A and B are shown apart, each in its own frame.
Chain A
Amino acid sequence: MIGSTSLELNGLSVRFGGLQALDQLSFSLQQGEIFGLIGPNGAGKTTLFNVITGLTAATSGEVRWQGKTTAGLRPDQLCNLGIARTFQNLRVFSDLSCIDNLQIAMGCNDRRTALELLAIMDLQEKGTHIAGSLAYGEQRRLELVRALATKPQLLLLDEPAAGMNPVEKQKLQVLLNTIRKQFQLTILIIEHHVPLMMKLCDRLAVLNFGRCIAIGSPQEVQEDPLVIEAYLGRGA
């Protein structure tokens, strides 16, 4: 199955009043790849996540998932179809225990699986702890494993390395590669830390003012003059 198209954007645009948040985006993700989204703040990266997960409706164009349009589907329906996400600002269920967090995502009472999943993130000791009481890094890992607990095929990660030190970032890279293999995931990732993205991603897309200004392998993108201009300004 590796190599076939999983997610496809067709001329996707989103407009908020006078703001063109996404402008005619068209690209597709291959099954099993790690696809990176980079671009300055306000480029529309999180908006794209919101459209893919059904939180924001497209103004025109469409998202196709496994060959079918996702227009009109609710976030929970899309989740059940295999699309899961994390959030830029941590959104664990902070009043509930870690096990509860996972059981909600799994939609059943399977405590053993929940503990097994926690173990992947080195959180097995914290099962009965209230999520809000965990350290920041632990909450990040909990949010990631909560997304995994929905048994996704596509995982959307919104700045997973934010607030992490270099050692933790290194660990995250290893972890993402591991879970991609173990769970046969396609991963779409937003991250500002470019060196990490260069090492991690199979392909990258660069967004600026809602447009995709470059797409390709990390090497190709790095050398693209439009990207250099967007990041460093004209004349650089």
Chain B
Amino acid sequence: MEVWLQLLVNGISIGAVYALFALGYTLVFSVLGVINFAHGAVFTCGAYFTYIFLGGVVGSNGLLAAQKLPVTFPLAIALVLAGLTAAMVGLLVETVAFKPLRRRGAEPLLYLITSLGAGVIIVNLIQLLMGAEAYALPSNILGSMPAVLALGHGLQIRTVQLLLLLVGGVTMLILNIWLNQSLSGKALQAVAEDATTARLLGINSGAMIQLAFAIASFLAGLSGGLVALSVNIGGPYFGISYGLKGLGVLVLGGLGSVPGAMLGGLIIGITEAFVPAKLSAYKDAVAFAFLFLVLIIRPQGLFGKPPIEKV
């Protein structure tokens, strides 16, 4: 029983981060109808930014070797700053890789390629500036908090996991309230529903698309920072596998569905946590096999609308 609960706690905390990350994919998809393949690279940016804002020193292999910020930020501020910086990167990606295409109404295939190009550039810029080495975040970021918290009944949780869960949960809550209560959130949903009609109603759909990119990239940056806290940074390419997993979550939940992305994240996180230790090498495959099965049974994902073709 306890083992069970322990696995569930582990699954939920990583699932919350998957969900946060996949929400970014789904926001962009809902307004633009395309997938941003640079999203994983923005996630990676978030991890590196967090490292820098926490006062980390750049290693010896990049152009910025041995540089560091003159100030060191506390964890909460460092995470927010990393998210904001990632949002700026996201806006840049939108301007360079998406705007020229959407102005012309280009076919969706082209966005895949341009956003991938943007991702390749970002990842290799990071490598150029910071080197290919792995980075470990400072160990004292949690201050006087213990590394592991006991929850009673033999259940325990790493403080970082709890942080992942809290930040993930609160961010999703805020996002939901914003989407459903605020004027700009509703305008974004209107663009997602029908861009042409929204434009006729006076909503600036270009601005909404940029807003979606900014928020999506903020979420990616934030989740990058959180994951880095939990498992450190494996190198400039470490975002790729998270990028893929995020795609899995996106499709599992249904493209463009906000609750779908949240539930999909939790499902994949929990599924992975329950893969027996003996088979842990196959963990990533399990998540994708699960995704694959869902698609075969329910092609539009859990929360997606079935496509209706007008004849």
Contact = CB atoms under 8 A, between A and B. Distances in A.
A50 B309 CA distance: 11
Nearest to B308: A16
B277 interface: no
A167 to B, nearest CB: 29
A87 B311 CA distance: 7
Contacts, number: 7
Contacts of A46: 311
Interface in A11-61: 46, 49-50, 55
Contacts of A184: none
Interface of B is mostly: loop
Contacts of A173: none
Contacts of A89: 310
Interface in A77-100: 87-89
A46 B310 CA distance: 10
B77 to A, nearest CB: 50
A46 B311 CA distance: 8
Interface residues of A, number: 7
Interface residues of B, number: 2
B300 to A, nearest CB: 15
Interface string A212-236: 0000000000000000000000000
B308 to A, nearest CB: 9
Contacts of A87: 311
Interface in B276-311: 310-311
Contacts of B311: 46, 49-50, 55, 87-88
A55 B310 CA distance: 11
Interface string A84-128: 000111000000000000000000000000000000000000000
A46 B309 CA distance: 13
A49 B310 CA distance: 13
Contacts of A49: 311
A197 to B, nearest CB: 21
A183 B103 CA distance: 47
Contacts of B310: 89
A190 to B, nearest CB: 12
A85 to B, nearest CB: 9
A206 B310 CA distance: 23
A49 B311 CA distance: 10
A55 B311 CA distance: 9
B311 to A, nearest CB: 6
A36 B311 CA distance: 19
A31 B310 CA distance: 30
A49 to B, nearest CB: 8
A92 to B, nearest CB: 15
A57 B310 CA distance: 15
A115 to B, nearest CB: 29
Interface in B152-199: none
A216 to B, nearest CB: 28
A188 to B, nearest CB: 15
A22 to B, nearest CB: 14
A87 B309 CA distance: 13
Nearest to A46: B311
B107 to A, nearest CB: 12
7 contacts: A46-B311, A49-B311, A50-B311, A55-B311, A87-B311, A88-B311, A89-B310
> Sorted from nearest, which 5 A-B pairs have the closest CB atoms?
A50-B311, A46-B311, A87-B311, A55-B311, A88-B311
